[in-house]
Structure formats: structure tokens, C-alpha cells
A and B are shown apart, each in its own frame.
Chain A
Amino acid sequence: AALNDALRSQVSAALKEGRVTPTELCQRCLALIKSTKFLNAYITVAEETALKQAEESEERYKRGQPLGILDGIPVAVKDNFNTAGIETTCASNMLKGYISPYNATVVQKLLDHGAVLLGKTNLDEFAMGSGSTDGVFGPVRNPWSYSKQYKEKCVPKSHSEEEESDWVITGGSSGGSAAAVSSFTCFAALGSDTGGSTRNPAAHCGVVGLKPTYGLISRHGLIPLVNSMDVPGILTRCVDDAAVLLGSLAGHDPKDSTTIQDDFKPFELPNLTDVSKLSIGIPKEYNAPGLSSEILALWSKAADLFKNAGAKVVEVSLPHTRHSIVCYHVLCTAEVASNMARFDGLEYGHRSDTKDSTESMYAATRREGFNDVVRGRILSGNYFLLKQNYEKYFVKAQKVRRLIANDFVKVFRSGVDVLLTPTTLSDAAPYTEFIQEDNRTRSAQDDILTQAANMAGLPAINVPTALSERGLPVGLQFIGRSFQEKQLLTVAKWFEKQVQFPVMQLEEVRRHDSGVFQHQKSASFS
């Protein structure tokens, strides 16, 4: 088995048949993490515990009693999920050194299914950002920056500068998880998605990024940003694998009262051959200002793909789309102001040495612990929540949220099954270019296509579609009906099969670790 294999269709079988052992798999992934350290995708690598988990998995396979498809599979988790005994930092000084006393429900579920937890991945501080550039451990580099495909298209600068200044961002805020999956160091990773934080880096890193319906997967143990929009996100290299992860994670959790009580039945995705009964909606407002002509063309090509295969493709309208980013901005900062109030230095995390009074200690702790972005959002949020502003901003935003959610309801009611939109406005920007604008501006620009799905709580998925002219991944987004993940993923899988997104040819790694890639296919899996 190779590290770039698909989980469900290849690795799982290899493990079962003994062609590879969980320990071998784990060791190879750990070695690859070491040799790709320059990507800065991981904050913590839990080498000892991972090897122990791998050994336990191996025992189970020997006895012929694996826990399921995920048994022995190396995975990574974004560093805003609590992991017992492992540092959880949210890429912030506020939580440096914080060792979680418990596992987030989704982490526990992964472990219960036998997955091997390799480590915690890098992100924007407290998941605020769209570049994975604003954490205290530094930015994450997009593995595609080091791919043959990108380097071929790169205009060569002076040789010594070339690698250092040309690298592109992963997108964010789950950039570490996306980079980890994209660079083959794990088979799946958890991210979080509040405004697009799983789908955005998935698009830039050429991986599948699934945002499930709000209420489907437990948020218990996910350090919250916006309680009414946050969801755990799933990052994998193919849609089938996303379905496997979803199957092990979804379902009611008594510890998260915002999870629905309906029974969730894990599913396998059918191989759709006949799309004639499908109705695909193309929301015209998603041709947003700033959308690159390249992506616009790709989107159009995708719509034609469906049409030519017999599906019904209709233009639809989500009239409040242009207000959604502003609405999100207000609701997000307001909820953040509330959620960040727990960080006061008393029970966990950073604590300032100031001893004069409780308030001055809290103020100093928060002054020292939070970066500009986090402090900025807290202050904005507090402004919108002031008595004199509450109706004008917060309640107003809640009303606009209903209008946005209703737009989707109307469209789905009219017979559309799935919406097809771009995920990002362009391919990944070079880091030096990206940091020239501040975090809030960037987030406002980059979240535009993804965050309405969070406002409405709908499931959405990024499917890697093609390489841009610069040799970088571009993805397209499908948005589905509430709790209709099976339909959404079935359509996504069909589309994935049609586009045959190329495998990344990672140059740097091949020099260091030639044993890793046993075969390079230019077609996708299965």
C-alpha cells in the first residue's frame, strides 16, 4: 500500500489482508511528517501514543477482529479539538501548554474506531482567518508549492530565493489539516468549519473538504468560535473516504444538545451512472466580484458536464447572498466576544503575573494571550452587543440570517437537489501577497462563497476539480439539503469521477524519502 492510496478502497483492504501493518503505516506517516516539516502543518506530533495505538490495532488485525474500516488508519486533528493528554493550543499563546483533560466527542469516536492519531494540526489563531497564516506557530505552507505541477509553471526567480518566496498559502483556517492530507501524511483529518474553514483550504490544497449539516456531528470538545455555526469538518483525498469518516462521526451526542436526536445510519455511496433525475442549481449571485475568470470558466464547464450527462441544470437566485458576509461578520464577532470570555487565566491556559485585582489579572492575561485578530473580533463583538447597538446590529443580523436561510429553502423547495458553486475566488495566493491585506479584509473576501452555507446550516463539500494556470488546485462546491449528506456526497462522487483531478507530484519529498511513493498515477483512485 502507498501513502497516497484511498482509505476505503485500498488501504483498508491492504490492512485486512496483511499486506501492510498498522505499525508500518504509522511509521511511514511519521517519517513523512518529519521530512515535510517545512510545511509547518503539524503543531504537535504524538509519536509515542500513535505507535502504541498502531500496535494495539495490529493486535486486533492479528486476531481477525478489526474495529472497522478506520482501524489502524493514521489521522490528524486540528488543534482546536480537545485531545486527552495531548497539548491543545488553538495556535494561541493563551493555550500554550494546555493539556486537554478529555477527548472531544469526534476524537473519541475516531479512537473508538481504532484510528491512529498522529498529531494536532496548525491553524489560524482560534480558527479566525482564511489563510492559516495567523497562528503563533507560524503559517502553514501549501504542499502544492513544492509540486512538480506548480514549479513547472513558476517564473523562475533567483535560484536561492525561489523556494523561499514563492510558496503559496493553504487557505484557512484548517490549513494544517488540509496540508496534512494533501501531503499524504495521513488519510483523513478533522478540521472545523464556521465560515468555510474546511472547504477553503480543501480547495487550495486539492483535497475533499466536507462541511456537514449543523447538528449532525457533535461539537463537544471543539473549542467554540460561533456556537450557532461551528461544525467539525472532514478532510480526505476522495469523496468515498469522506463518507467513511462521516459514518463514524455523525449521530446524536448527549453531551452536545445541539445535535439532532434522529438516528444516523452510516452509508456507502452508490456509483451513480444516471444523473437524468438530478436537478443542479447554479446560483447566479455566486458569480461574485473578484471571481477569477479561470474559476468562472471551470464552473461553467462543470455545469455543462452535468447538462451533457442528462441532468437538469437551472440558474437559481439566492438574492440575499451579497449581504451574507456582513451578517456573518456581526454574528461571528458577537458570538466570539461571548465565547472568548472563558479565557481569564484562572482555570487553564496562560495566566499573567499581575496580582493587583481579578479584573486587572484577567485584562493582562488576555492582553498577553490573544493576538490582534482575536482581540479585534472580541472588541467588535462587544460593540455590536452594547445595549445601544443590540437591536441595530445583532438582532438585525439575526433577521438577515433568516432571510439568507429562507433563500435556500425556497430554492430547494422549487425542485433543485444540489447547488453547484465555486469554493474560492481564485487559486492559492503567494504568502507574501496574502499578508499584505489584514485578516479581516481577507476573511471577508475569501469567505464570500462558503459562509452562507454556515448561516443556513446546510451541508457543503469542496471537490478538487482541476489545476489552474499556475499549476495549483481549484475546487468547486456542492451545497445540499439539510441532513441529505448521502445525496450530496453521491453527486460529489460522480463529479469527482468525471474530472479525474491529478495526483500531486511532491518533488521535495521524493528527494528525501524515495521509498514512500510506490507508484504515481495521473488518474485518481478507484
Chain B
Amino acid sequence: QKVSVEVLDHLEHLALVDFRDSEGVERLQKAIQFADQLHEVNTDGVEPMDSVLEDRWCLYLREDDVTEGNCTKELLENAREKVEEYFVAPPGNIPLPKLEERDTFLQGS
């Protein structure tokens, strides 16, 4: 069962990462095929496991006290584009172009 171009396009949108070429798409197909082996296992009545530490009550809450911070300068150091104390991003709320208009390998499919 091949993954449809719609789903591949959807994945590129969600992941913001490209398949690049037919090899990339093949890679996904093989990954799904591999994962399908999971269905051989009988998991009736089995609860999903989030963490191996589930019996130990690891995740705790703490008091909402500020214990560290004041490191604006260090944090901004690694950003390429900034203005005063802001990280600068290009305009938002513009969705990625649709498949037909985008420069993607999937266009040919």
C-alpha cells in the first residue's frame, strides 16, 4: 500500500522537512513496512507505557519560584537575527505554498 501524494505533502507541511527525492519517499515506505510488523503482537488488555519510571512518581511539581534567569545576553548570542532583545522572524501566518506552487520533489508525482 503506497502512501498517497496528499499524505506525503501533508507530512512535508507538518514536519517542515522535505523528502528531497524518490529515495526519501522509498525510505518512508520501507519504514512503514517495517513498522507494520508490530501488528503481529497481541496487545489485548495491555496498557501503553509512557515511562519506565511510572512506578516511581518521578514527575513532581515544585514551587513556582524563580531560581535562575537573567541570561538574555547569552541566549541571544547564538541567534543570527535579532533586534534589541527580540529574536527576529520573517512574516508569520503565511502558510507554505500548496503542492502545485511549491518547489518540491513531490510535484512531479
Chain A residues contacting B49 (CB-CB under 8 Å) are 398-399, 401-402, 405
CA distance A402 to B32 in the complex (A): 21
Which listed residue (A347, A356, A397, A456) contacts B94, Cβ 8 A? A356
Chain B residues contacting A261 (CB-CB under 8 Å) are 58, 60
12 A-B pairs within 8 Å (CB atoms) are namely A326-B34, A347-B79, A347-B87, A348-B78, A349-B78, A356-B94, A357-B92, A359-B96, A360-B94, A375-B19, A386-B7, A386-B14
Chain B residues contacting A99 (CB-CB under 8 Å) are 77-78
**Does chain B have a CB within 8 A of A320?**
yes
Chain B residues contacting A316 (CB-CB under 8 Å) are none
**Does chain B have a CB within 8 A of A137?**
no
Interchain CB contact under 8 A, A228 and B52: yes
Interchain CB contact under 8 A, B15 and A260: no
Q: Mark B73-87, 1 if CB is under 8 A from A, else 0.
A: 011011111000001
> How many residue pairs bridge A and B at CB < 8 Å?
187
CA distance A395 to B46 in the complex (A): 10
Which listed residue (B17, B52, B75) contacts A363, Cβ 8 A? B17
| Distance (whole angstroms) from the CB of B107 to the closest CB of chain A | 15
Chain A residues contacting B41 (CB-CB under 8 Å) are 320, 323, 396, 399-400, 403
CA distance A344 to B81 in the complex (A): 13
| Distance (whole angstroms) from the CB of B109 to the closest CB of chain A | 15
| Distance (whole angstroms) from the CB of B41 to the closest CB of chain A | 5
Interchain CB contact under 8 A, A375 and B34: no
Interchain CB contact under 8 A, A346 and B87: yes
Which residues of A315-369 have CB atoms within 8 Å of chain B's CB atoms? 320, 323, 326-327, 329-330, 333, 337, 344-349, 351, 354-363, 366-367
Which listed residue (B51, B62, B90) contacts A355, Cβ 8 A? B90
CA distance A349 to B80 in the complex (A): 8
CA distance A382 to B19 in the complex (A): 12
Chain B interface category by residue count: 35 or more
Interchain CB contact under 8 A, A346 and B58: no
Interchain CB contact under 8 A, B43 and A357: no
The residue of chain A having its C-beta at the shortest distance from the C-beta of B48 within the complex is: A398
Q: Mark B32-76, 1 if CB is under 8 A from A, else 0.
A: 101101111101001111111100101110100000000100110
Interchain CB contact under 8 A, A379 and B39: no
CA distance A259 to B60 in the complex (A): 11
CA distance A359 to B96 in the complex (A): 6
Chain A residues contacting B95 (CB-CB under 8 Å) are 357, 359
**Does chain B have a CB within 8 A of A412?**
no
Which 10 pairs, one residue from A and one from B, show the smallest C-beta to C-beta distance? A457-B52, A398-B48, A357-B94, A348-B78, A399-B43, A402-B49, A101-B74, A380-B31, A399-B46, A351-B80
The residue of chain B having its C-beta at the shortest distance from the C-beta of A362 within the complex is: B16
| Distance (whole angstroms) from the CB of A411 to the closest CB of chain B | 16
Interchain CB contact under 8 A, A214 and B53: yes
The residue of chain B having its C-beta at the shortest distance from the C-beta of A344 within the complex is: B16
Which listed residue (B12, B15, B50, B87) contacts A337, Cβ 8 A? B15
**Does chain B have a CB within 8 A of A215?**
yes
CA distance A358 to B77 in the complex (A): 20
Interchain CB contact under 8 A, B90 and A357: yes
Chain B residues contacting A398 (CB-CB under 8 Å) are 48-50
CA distance A141 to B18 in the complex (A): 31
Interchain CB contact under 8 A, B35 and A351: no
Interchain CB contact under 8 A, A228 and B51: yes
Chain A residues contacting B90 (CB-CB under 8 Å) are 354-358, 360-361
Q: Mark A400-421, 1 if CB is under 8 A from B, else 0.
A: 1111010000000000000000
Interchain CB contact under 8 A, A329 and B34: yes
**Does chain A have a CB within 8 A of B11?**
yes
**Does chain B have a CB within 8 A of A376?**
yes
**Does chain A have a CB within 8 A of B20?**
yes
Interchain CB contact under 8 A, B58 and A258: yes
**Does chain A have a CB within 8 A of B108?**
no
Interchain CB contact under 8 A, A258 and B59: yes
The residue of chain B having its C-beta at the shortest distance from the C-beta of A256 within the complex is: B58
The residue of chain A having its C-beta at the shortest distance from the C-beta of B40 within the complex is: A323
Residue among A333, A363, A370 having the largest count of chain B Cβ atoms under 10 Å: A363
**Does chain A have a CB within 8 A of B2?**
no
Chain A residues contacting B89 (CB-CB under 8 Å) are 346, 358, 361
Interchain CB contact under 8 A, A403 and B35: no
With A258-B53, A329-B31, A357-B91 as contacts: A375 and B24 at CB distance below 8 Å = yes
5 additional A-B pairs beyond A359-B96, A376-B24, A383-B7, beta carbons within 8 Å, are A357-B91, A372-B24, A379-B11, A379-B15, A397-B38
